[in-house]
Structure 1
Amino acid sequence: MDPFRRRKNNYISLVLLLCLIIPVLAGCWDRAEVNDLAIILATGVDVSKKEEIELSVQVFIPKPVEGGQQEGVSSGNNSSQTLVRSAQGVTIADAMSRLQEKLTRRIFWGQNEVLIIGEKLAKKGIGDQIDFWMGHTEPRERADVFVSMDSAKEVLESMPELERDSAKQLRKLVDTQIGVKVTVKDLSEMLSGDAGAAVIPWVAKMSPSNLGVNKGKNIPFIQGAAVLRGDKMVGRLSDKETRGILWPRNEAKSGIITISLKDDEGFVSLNLLRSHNKLIPKISNGNWSIKVKTNTDLEVIQNTTNLNLLNLKSTKKVKRMVVQVIEKRERLALSKAQKKMNADIFGFAEAFQRDYPGTWKRKKNEWSEIFQKVDVTFETKVNIRRTGLSNEKAKKGGRE
Structure 2
Amino acid sequence: MMDFFRRRKNKYISLVLLLCLIILLLAGCWDRTEVNDLAIILATGVDISKNKEIELSVQVFIPKPAEGGQQGGVSSGSTSSQTLVRSAEGVTIADAMSRLQEKLTRRIFWGQNEVLIIGEKLAKKGIGDQIDFWMGHTDPRERADVFVSMDSAKEVLESMPELERDAAKQLSKLVDSQIGVKVTVKDLSEMLTGDSSAAVIPWVAKMSPSNLEVNEGKNIPFIKGSAVLKGDKMVGRLSDKESRGILWPRNEMKSGIITISLKDEKGFVSLNLLRSHNQLIPKISNGNWSIMVKTDTDLEVIQNTTNLNLLNLKSSKKVKRMVVQEIEERERLTLSKARKKMNADIFGFAGAFHRDYPGTWKRKKNEWSEIFRKVDVTFDTKVNIRRTGLSNEKAKKGGGE
**TM-score category of the 2 structures, normalised to the smaller one:** over 0.9
Is 2:90–2:96's contact at 8 Å kept on the other side of the alignment? yes
**Deviation digits for residues 31-67 of structure 1 (CA, Å, limit 9, x no counterpart):** 2111111111111000011110011111111112333
In the alignment, the residues of structure 1 paired with residue 295 and residue 128 of structure 2 have an alpha-carbon distance, to the nearest angstrom, of 33
Which residue is equivalent to 2:393?
Answer: 392
**Deviation digits for residues 14-36 of structure 1 (CA, Å, limit 9, x no counterpart):** 466457544431x3333211111
Which residue is equivalent to 2:383?
Answer: 382
Write the letter of the residue equivalent to 2:276: S
In the alignment, the residues of structure 1 paired with residue 22 and residue 142 of structure 2 have an alpha-carbon distance, to the nearest angstrom, of 35
Is 1:207–1:220's contact at 8 Å kept on the other side of the alignment? no
Is 1:291–1:377's contact at 8 Å kept on the other side of the alignment? yes
> Residues 263 and 109 (structure 1 numbering): CA distance in 2 closer, same or farther, change over 3 Å?
same
Is 1:72–1:164's contact at 8 Å kept on the other side of the alignment? no
Q: What are the residue-to-residue correspondences of 1:191-202 with 2, within 5 Å? A: 191-202=192-203
Is 1:293–1:378's contact at 8 Å kept on the other side of the alignment? yes
> Residues 111 and 332 (structure 1 numbering): CA distance in 2 closer, same or farther, change over 3 Å?
same
> Residues 14 and 178 (structure 1 numbering): CA distance in 2 closer, same or farther, change over 3 Å?
same
In the TM superposition, residue 366 of structure 1 has moved relative to its aligned partner by 1.1
| Alignment match of 1:6 (pick from 5, 8, 21) | 8
> Residues 393 and 89 (structure 1 numbering): CA distance in 2 closer, same or farther, change over 3 Å?
same
Is 1:72–1:163's contact at 8 Å kept on the other side of the alignment? no
> Residues 382 and 9 (structure 1 numbering): CA distance in 2 closer, same or farther, change over 3 Å?
farther
In the alignment, the residues of structure 1 paired with residue 23 and residue 387 of structure 2 have an alpha-carbon distance, to the nearest angstrom, of 62
Q: What are the residue-to-residue correspondences of 1:137-286 with 2, within 5 Å? A: 137-210=138-211, 213-286=214-287
In the alignment, the residues of structure 2 paired with residue 19 and residue 376 of structure 1 have an alpha-carbon distance, to the nearest angstrom, of 72
Which residue is equivalent to 1:120?
Answer: 121
In the alignment, the residues of structure 2 paired with residue 70 and residue 223 of structure 1 have an alpha-carbon distance, to the nearest angstrom, of 32
Write the letter of the residue equivalent to 1:114: V
In the alignment, the residues of structure 1 paired with residue 372 and residue 115 of structure 2 have an alpha-carbon distance, to the nearest angstrom, of 32
- The answer as to 2:26 corresponding to 1:24 is yes
In the alignment, the residues of structure 2 paired with residue 37 and residue 73 of structure 1 have an alpha-carbon distance, to the nearest angstrom, of 19
In the TM superposition, residue 100 of structure 1 has moved relative to its aligned partner by 1.1
In the alignment, the residues of structure 2 paired with residue 133 and residue 114 of structure 1 have an alpha-carbon distance, to the nearest angstrom, of 12
Percent sequence identity is 86
Which residue is equivalent to 1:336?
Answer: 337
Which residue is equivalent to 1:83?
Answer: 84
In the TM superposition, residue 6 of structure 1 has moved relative to its aligned partner by 3.0
In the TM superposition, residue 206 of structure 1 has moved relative to its aligned partner by 2.8
Which residue is equivalent to 1:64?
Answer: 65
In the TM superposition, residue 207 of structure 1 has moved relative to its aligned partner by 2.8
| TM-score between both structures, scaled by the size of structure 1 | 0.96
Q: Over aligned residue pairs, what C-alpha RMSD do you find?
A: 1.7
Is 1:76–1:214's contact at 8 Å kept on the other side of the alignment? no
In the alignment, the residues of structure 2 paired with residue 185 and residue 118 of structure 1 have an alpha-carbon distance, to the nearest angstrom, of 19
| TM-score between both structures, scaled by the size of structure 2 | 0.96
Which residue is equivalent to 2:50?
Answer: 49
In the alignment, the residues of structure 2 paired with residue 72 and residue 233 of structure 1 have an alpha-carbon distance, to the nearest angstrom, of 40
**Deviation digits for residues 335-386 of structure 1 (CA, Å, limit 9, x no counterpart):** 1112210111111111111111111111111111111111111000101111
Q: 3-state DSSP class of the match of 1:6? A: helix
Q: Which moved more, 1:263-272 or 1:92-101?
A: 92-101
Which residue is equivalent to 1:105?
Answer: 106
In the alignment, the residues of structure 1 paired with residue 253 and residue 73 of structure 2 have an alpha-carbon distance, to the nearest angstrom, of 28
In the alignment, the residues of structure 2 paired with residue 70 and residue 396 of structure 1 have an alpha-carbon distance, to the nearest angstrom, of 53
In the alignment, the residues of structure 2 paired with residue 315 and residue 222 of structure 1 have an alpha-carbon distance, to the nearest angstrom, of 34
In the alignment, the residues of structure 2 paired with residue 217 and residue 332 of structure 1 have an alpha-carbon distance, to the nearest angstrom, of 35
Q: Which moved more, 1:59-68 or 1:292-301?
A: 59-68
In the alignment, the residues of structure 2 paired with residue 108 and residue 5 of structure 1 have an alpha-carbon distance, to the nearest angstrom, of 54
In the TM superposition, residue 170 of structure 1 has moved relative to its aligned partner by 0.5
In the TM superposition, residue 131 of structure 1 has moved relative to its aligned partner by 0.4
> Residues 268 and 361 (structure 1 numbering): CA distance in 2 closer, same or farther, change over 3 Å?
same
In the alignment, the residues of structure 1 paired with residue 248 and residue 150 of structure 2 have an alpha-carbon distance, to the nearest angstrom, of 26
Is 1:84–1:156's contact at 8 Å kept on the other side of the alignment? yes
**Deviation digits for residues 207-265 of structure 1 (CA, Å, limit 9, x no counterpart):** 33416532441110001000000000000000000000000000000000000001110
Is 1:308–1:391's contact at 8 Å kept on the other side of the alignment? yes
In the alignment, the residues of structure 2 paired with residue 267 and residue 209 of structure 1 have an alpha-carbon distance, to the nearest angstrom, of 29
> Residues 183 and 19 (structure 1 numbering): CA distance in 2 closer, same or farther, change over 3 Å?
farther
